[in-house]
Chain A
Amino acid sequence: MNELMDMISFGIRLGEPLLAAVIIIMCFVSLRGGRRSEQALIVLEDRTNDTNYPVIYWENSIGRSASSDIKINDPTVSRDHAVLLRRSNGWFITDTGSKAGVYVNGDKTDGRYPVAIGDVITCGTTELVMRRASDIEGAVPRREIKMFPQEIILSLITFYISLLTVQSSINLQNTDCVILAASFIGVMWLFYSVSKLGLKRMNFELESLVMFLSGTGIILAASHNVKQGYVQLIAAVLGMILYSLILWFIEIPDRVMKWNIIISILALLMLGSTLVIGRSLHGAKNWIILGPVSIQPSEFAKIAYIFVGASTLDVLQTKKSLAAFIAVSAASVGLLVLMSDFGTAVIFFVTFLIISFMRSGDIKTVFLALTAAVLGAMTMLSVKPYIAERFAAWGHVWEYANDSGYQQVRSLIYSASGGLFGVGLSKGYLQYLFASENDLVFCLMCEELGCIIAVLCAVTIGGLMLYARGVTTRSRSTFYSIAACSAGGLLVFQSALNIFGVVDLLPLTGVTLPFVSYGGSSMMSCWGLLAFIKAADERTYFRHIPKRLEKQNKDYVEI
């Protein structure tokens, strides 16, 4: 009987990676296939020289500089003259500090000014008439949308989670995981129903990918300690709520821009209060303990930080100074260093580089920041030389196999022991190591689920980033594109620190692997970050073409 069970468990292990690969491929193919084609939304007709400028994006810079979205060769037009934006209630133009000013039908504009089809926009000596794209170019056939039915993907994930659960039950010879897995599957389908029926969102691939990651993490954790599985599940549910709240909040980016200062203060307060009332667990003082719950505020500060960094195009062109953002960033990194949470400090710093470059395109700021960081790190090391000892094993862990390289050496050994298909849930040895289900989770997956699934999880996170970048110009605002790229970059960088830390490509810093590692705060904040990527997808707010507004503004242009 036992032998039969062994064989079944082995068979399941061979099947799981294939299923996982199919799920991931379907999700990404569907994401790609469902994107809007980049066609002109409207056309600006230049009456002075009969040129037509197609307007492709939701936010378009107009100016003389070569990198403008709509480039006008007219010496009276400023380099960054204006920004033409589309919002759910129509088109607007914002003068971004031009010399000659922007006139609509002869009226001088100040701030954001609505424009409609047929209106004449005057920049310098250039007169632009706003036209429907179909009037100029003829009806463009709408690109065919190739998406997989989301229910099929969800059914496959359900099947995948079930296989994991069966495997875990066979290996553990108990059914502790079954209720947990069933609850997770229930939550997944419920969330989908709300998204599809309640919020009328047509796509669910991003959530599906994360369900795949979280599901793997939950069953993995539960196979070693079923209580951890439940903690993970609750955190995932809270994460989904946070995700929905953030998506609701950032629906109107112009509104978010007004909250910037309050959110900055909130982020700094979160970090600051941790420093004051936080507890130190495992070397870093980054925990706040509230009764039975312990949370890591720095995880939530990540979300706030992205809020602060991202910005709409008109604001970007008007307020070019990064000073306020740099100040918030420096304060955040400083606080994290004081907490000895170096992993998160580095993550914040890299996110800072991503955001500041995406905002300004200014390589000097990046170099300056890097120089400052190197100097800071060197000062830090000269003041507190013991910090360097933490990283002493980096690059030659085998020589430190029984002290500072202990975790990495075991991680590598057990990764190799797992082969492509793993030794089976709960059958591994890495689980007995400290922090195996968070810091070492990548290798724990390699050992118990096999390196295919582990690598697929990493590929999924990288893929989220590639997707976020793929939709930058399709987003409804640069706010979303910047936020999505920063959130994606943060997740990828954090994954890199986690994975490469254990396999000795980078120093071991003890950060979590997004969505997979055990840790409630981390799970929630990762869902929160996912909201930014989701928001960058134009279709996310598609349902919100309010009928009422459509009637008011007949010239509203459909996609």
Chain B
Amino acid sequence: MRHTRTRSFPVLMLTLAFFAGIIYFIVNLVINSSVWVSKPYNGHLSDSSGLEYAGKIIDRNGIILAKSEDGKRIYNEDEITRCACLHVVGDDSVNISTAVQTLYRSELSAYDFSFGLGIPNEMKEGKDIHITIDSNVQRAAYEALGDRKGACVVYNYKTGEIICLVSTPSYDPMDIPKDLDTNDVYEGAYINRAVSASYPPGSTFKLVTAAAALENDPELEHLEYDCTGSTKIGDKDINCFEISGHIDMKDAIKTSCNAYFAELAILLGRDKMTAQAERMGFNKSWKFDGIETITNTYNVSSANDNNFAWSGVGQYTVLESPINMAIRSSAIANDGVPVIPKLIQSIDKTFSGSLAPVPERSEANRMMSSETAEKLKEMMDYTVKNYYGNDNFSDELDVCAKTGTAEVSDDGLSHGWVTGFTKDEDCPLAFAVVVEHGNSGFYAAVPVASAALTAAAASLR
């Protein structure tokens, strides 16, 4: 019979494996439970479930953007503020996947691992979430965007705090339009375009091409070129908006010469262009505070020479999100090192008083050398001073910027872009604005950036 016992060893191993599996499940549950609970499929927390006794959402000035009273969720009393903050705060549903009320619903509804969602309502004590946005800046950007679709990101490139994260079209979470899902006016209203949409970046991408050149050979700064309004690369022409004449890189940025940067891309080659684009956030996405942004794409592996040349000016199949554009501008402002944005200031219990310490700034990998960053900064500064006019951005802030007007593949008007940063020590802001089919970066996007920057300066100073 001893034999029989010895031979039962595999069964013992099976049982131990079973216990190990149970332990693995428990560990997994402990680690991931708050993430799992926050998934949009959770019946306990979808629609208004879970928000009846949830904590408040409060902006950087202490303005309450959402709170619960008597089992109902109430948003800010001002309709425009509600619309402007919708994509950050969220609504009762979990349709806006990157909103605080979607991602942090378990925290707001006092979820903890021990009691799950099983605490009786009377005992629930939802946590308040303080977010870094400024509802006044949100309003300014929202009103500047008006009824156009687009997005505006403004964040502090020293601390990472997002001051403004607006996406349009929006709607009022306290009076949800009946035709939300059918009316074209609200197309994509559930999407926060600042983080979850990507567009061809157009001429704003010339900063990436310039960075690729300067990183490989700083002397390329002095590369001179005679622009005739177009150049033939491969089998087709690359056209410019204007004839720039005899230019170096600084002037090519200023006049946004397509031919210059197309030739520069060809000079550098696919590998160097791809490498620099990937350093600057392409072919990856960003993660911060539970938000996972859309992946930016730069893929020229199957591009012919003409296509590849177009990629150097942000056309072809290049796609970028507004948040990535703001992040790479922060790198130029920060001597080459980008700061990762953040939205959550602190999460705390309603009655425990003390705020959790403000999280440290977090940096991502260096995108370029500080010399390259310095040169790009000069070029953007030069462009604003000599071409766009600083007062078109702000009367008070010292702005460096680059616009873009990106052609779209369908017949619609081009998308308008602008990205850049302020040089002011007390108001260090990186920004990006896109206006879908705005036709011009300068005429469509710059005024939105200007409105947001002016409001932000008033708020921060």
Q: Which residues of A contact B (CB under 8 A)?
A: 3, 6-7, 9-10, 13, 57-61, 67, 69, 313, 350, 353-354, 357-359, 361, 401, 409-410, 412-424, 427, 429, 432, 447, 450-451, 455, 458-459, 462, 465-466, 469, 472-473, 475, 478, 481-482, 485-486, 488-489, 492-493, 495-496, 499-500, 503, 505
Contact = CB atoms under 8 A, between A and B. Distances in A.
Interface in B32-80: 32-34, 36-37, 39, 41-44
Given A358-B11, A417-B44, A472-B8, 7 more contacts: A57-B2, A60-B1, A69-B3, A458-B18, A485-B4, A493-B14, A500-B25
In the complex, the 10 A-B pairs of residues with the closest C-beta atoms, listed nearest first = A419-B116, A429-B43, A416-B33, A6-B120, A423-B118, A57-B1, A416-B36, A489-B11, A472-B5, A465-B15
Nearest to A61: B3
B354 interface: no
Contact of B1 (A13, A359, A409, A473): A473
A470 B112 CA distance: 39
A451 B14 CA distance: 22
Contact of A503 (B28, B41, B117): B28
Nearest to B49: A429
Nearest to B19: A462
B15 A417 contact: no
Interface string B100-139: 0000000000011111111111110000000000000000
A462 B33 contact: no
A361 B116 contact: no
Contact of A422 (B34, B37, B116): B116
Contacts of B32: 412, 416
B14 A421 contact: no
Nearest to A422: B118
A7 B1 CA distance: 55
B122 A6 contact: yes
B108 to A, nearest CB: 15
A419 B115 contact: yes
B119 A10 contact: yes
Nearest to B32: A416
A459 B118 contact: no
B10 interface: yes
Contacts of B177: none
Nearest to A6: B120
B241 interface: no
Contacts, number: 178
Contacts of A313: 1, 4
B21 interface: yes
B7 interface: yes
B352 interface: no
Contacts of A9: 120
25 contacts: A6-B121, A7-B123, A10-B123, A13-B118, A313-B1, A354-B10, A357-B7, A357-B10, A358-B4, A358-B7, A361-B3, A361-B7, A401-B39, A416-B33, A416-B34, A417-B44, A420-B114, A423-B44, A429-B43, A455-B26, A465-B18, A469-B12, A472-B5, A492-B18, A499-B21
A412 B36 contact: yes
A495 B18 contact: yes
A175 to B, nearest CB: 21
Contacts of A495: 18
A contact patch SS: helix
Contacts of B28: 503
B22 A473 contact: no
A3 B36 CA distance: 28
A488 B24 contact: no
Given A67-B2, A354-B10, A3 B122 contact: yes
A481 B8 CA distance: 9
B94 to A, nearest CB: 12
Contacts of B182: none
A10 B10 contact: no
A258 B112 CA distance: 59
A486 B19 CA distance: 18
A505 B8 CA distance: 25
Contact of A67 (B3, B12, B111): B3
A360 to B, nearest CB: 8
B302 interface: no
B303 interface: no
B26 A481 contact: no
A71 B120 CA distance: 67
A321 B347 CA distance: 69
A424 B43 CA distance: 15
Contact of A10 (B42, B113, B120): B120
B41 A409 contact: yes
A218 to B, nearest CB: 22
B153 to A, nearest CB: 28
A212 B21 CA distance: 22
Interface in B420-461: none
A292 B4 CA distance: 44
B210 to A, nearest CB: 38
Contacts of A481: 1, 4-5, 8
Contacts of B18: 458, 462, 465, 492-493, 495-496
Contacts of B3: 61, 67, 69, 361
A423 B45 CA distance: 13
Contacts of B183: none
B6 interface: yes
Contact of B2 (A10, A69, A419, A421): A69
A447 B43 CA distance: 12
Nearest to B115: A419
Given A6-B121, A455-B22, A492-B18, A417 B116 contact: yes
Contacts of B111: 417
B116 A472 contact: no
A61 B3 CA distance: 9
A466 B43 CA distance: 39
A68 to B, nearest CB: 8
A170 to B, nearest CB: 11
Given A57-B1, A473-B5, A505 B25 contact: yes
Contacts of B8: 358, 469, 472, 481, 485
A147 B1 CA distance: 26
A61 to B, nearest CB: 7
B220 interface: no
Contact of A416 (B15, B24, B37): B37
B308 to A, nearest CB: 32
A359 to B, nearest CB: 8
A421 B115 contact: yes
A419 B112 contact: yes
A3 B22 contact: no
B364 interface: no
Given A416-B29, A481-B1, A505-B25, A67 B6 contact: yes
